[in-house]
A = this chain, B = another copy of it.
Amino acid sequence: MKRKSGTTKKSLVAFGELLLRLDARGHERFVQSESFVARYTGGEANVAASLSQWGIDTFAVSKVPDHEIGQACVNYLRRFNINTDWVLRGPGRLGILYVEAGASQRPSKVIYDRDHSCFRGIRRNEVDWNVILRGKDWFHFTGTAPALGSNVLAVLKDGLRAARRRGVTVSFDCNYRSALWSRDEAARVLESLMEYVDVFIGTHHDARTLFGIDAEPSESAAQLRRRFGFRCVAYTLREGANASVNRFAGLLCDARGCDVSRAYDMQMVDRIGGGDAYSGGLIYALLMRWPRRESVEFAAAAGCLKHSIAGDFNLVSLEEVQQLATTGESGEVQR
């Protein structure tokens, strides 16, 4: 990209696992598949990918196998301009998620094969957070990383403490996966991490499941924010007619109140990754210090657009998100 001097680029560090995503083609079922589309993903890298499209300097901190599949994963991040200097290499495997796209009344399906991954073997002395976080603006993690065992949790805690020390803003996407750990263990571990979090992203279902807050979304977000002293709480609001058509919106609450975004009725290309795209949009808006309403509209538009794109990276331009966020309309063919 053409060097622009004199401006200070914002920056984000994303810590989490990287995975190979293998998609059955089109609407094929797994038992029909003769081949898989291969893309790489990770809840945190997905957020970085969003931001790197919009001019933010992004840095992935992770660990992948020291073989060619690991290299292909690194190259995938590089391709979309995520800095991979801190993607470590080591023995072990790259976790996989198999994805089958649903259609109409048939829901999408994800099979995880991510145990025993190389990333789970990451060690505290491999990650120099003081170097990594120096001069950075934002640190992002999700509820998946703490579920991946004590090694990862220890490295994460180091990172959170370093971020706190350096005044780096911390966002957390709850993203609770019952396949990874029990509700109780998740609640216990995540609760211990909330003190480091400035921006909480999730759903009111997460708030009920993990923190026992049973309220409609706005009230839930407000309670949650107060309980942990978050700077703000952002929820996605989703109503699924079926696997082909969905309704999607966002909610953002801070100390002064809440805003709900426009709701989008979407014909879906890819059901997966909308939450990460929403997080990406939100973080961008907050980095830009936009007002609450503009922020949640931008985040929701980003999340909405992701559903029209295959793969987990939200490959949309700033202008495209802004066009939708501002007007709620997609406009005509662009020539």
In angstroms, Cα B86 to Cα A36, docked, is 27
Task: Kindly list chain B residues whose C-beta atoms are within 8 Å of the C-beta of A109.
Answer: 68, 333-335
Does A129 interact with chain B (Cβ within 8 Å)?
A: no
Nearest-neighbor residue (CB-CB) of A89 within chain B: B2
Stretch at the interface among A11-19, A217-225, A227-235, A261-269: A261-269
Stretch at the interface among A75-83, A163-171, A193-201, A288-296: A75-83
Nearest-neighbor residue (CB-CB) of A177 within chain B: B335
Given contacts A26-B310, A31-B315, A78-B79, whether A240 and B332 have CB atoms under 8 Å apart is: yes
Given contacts A69-B98, A112-B335, whether A309 and B27 have CB atoms under 8 Å apart is: yes
In angstroms, Cα B315 to Cα A109, docked, is 14
**CB of A29, distance to nearest CB on chain B (Å):** 5
- B107 to A332, Cβ gap below 8 A? yes
Query: Which residues from 53 to 85 on chain A have a C-beta closer than 8 Å to any C-beta of chain B?
Result: 67-69, 71-72, 74-76, 78-81, 84-85
In angstroms, Cα B282 to Cα A231, docked, is 56
Question: Considering residues A81, A84, A87, A335, which has the most beta carbons from chain B within 10 angstroms of its beta carbon?
Answer: A335
Does A110 interact with chain B (Cβ within 8 Å)?
A: yes
Given contacts A80-B75, A304-B105, A330-B243, whether A38 and B33 have CB atoms under 8 Å apart is: yes
- A330 to B33, Cβ gap below 8 A? no
Task: Kindly list chain B residues whose C-beta atoms are within 8 Å of the C-beta of A75.
Answer: 31, 79-81
Does A189 interact with chain B (Cβ within 8 Å)?
A: no
Interface residues on chain A, size class: 35 or more
- B106 to A320, Cβ gap below 8 A? yes
- B33 to A104, Cβ gap below 8 A? no
Query: Which of B34, B89, B104 is A267 in contact with, Cβ under 8 Å?
Result: B104
Nearest-neighbor residue (CB-CB) of A240 within chain B: B332
Does A154 interact with chain B (Cβ within 8 Å)?
A: no
The contact string, 1 if C-beta is below 8 Å from chain B, for chain A 292-314, is 00000000010011011111000
Task: Kindly list chain B residues whose C-beta atoms are within 8 Å of the C-beta of A260.
Answer: none
Nearest-neighbor residue (CB-CB) of A268 within chain B: B104
**CB of A125, distance to nearest CB on chain B (Å):** 13
Given contacts A108-B334, A315-B31, whether A267 and B103 have CB atoms under 8 Å apart is: yes
**CB of A230, distance to nearest CB on chain B (Å):** 26
Nearest-neighbor residue (CB-CB) of A32 within chain B: B315
Task: Kindly list chain B residues whose C-beta atoms are within 8 Å of the C-beta of A39.
Answer: 34
Does A255 interact with chain B (Cβ within 8 Å)?
A: no
Query: Which of B76, B94, B267 is A244 in contact with, Cβ under 8 Å?
Result: B267
- A34 to B38, Cβ gap below 8 A? yes
Task: Kindly list chain B residues whose C-beta atoms are within 8 Å of the C-beta of A331.
Answer: 107, 240
Question: Considering residues A245, A331, A333, which has the most beta carbons from chain B within 10 angstroms of its beta carbon?
Answer: A333
**CB of A43, distance to nearest CB on chain B (Å):** 13
Nearest-neighbor residue (CB-CB) of A85 within chain B: B3
* Apart from A27-B269, A243-B330: 9 A-B pairs, beta carbons within 8 A: A26-B310, A27-B310, A31-B68, A35-B38, A36-B36, A78-B81, A105-B324, A243-B308, A272-B333
The 7 listed contacts between A and B (C-beta, < 8 Å) are: A3-B85, A31-B71, A33-B72, A36-B38, A105-B304, A109-B333, A242-B330
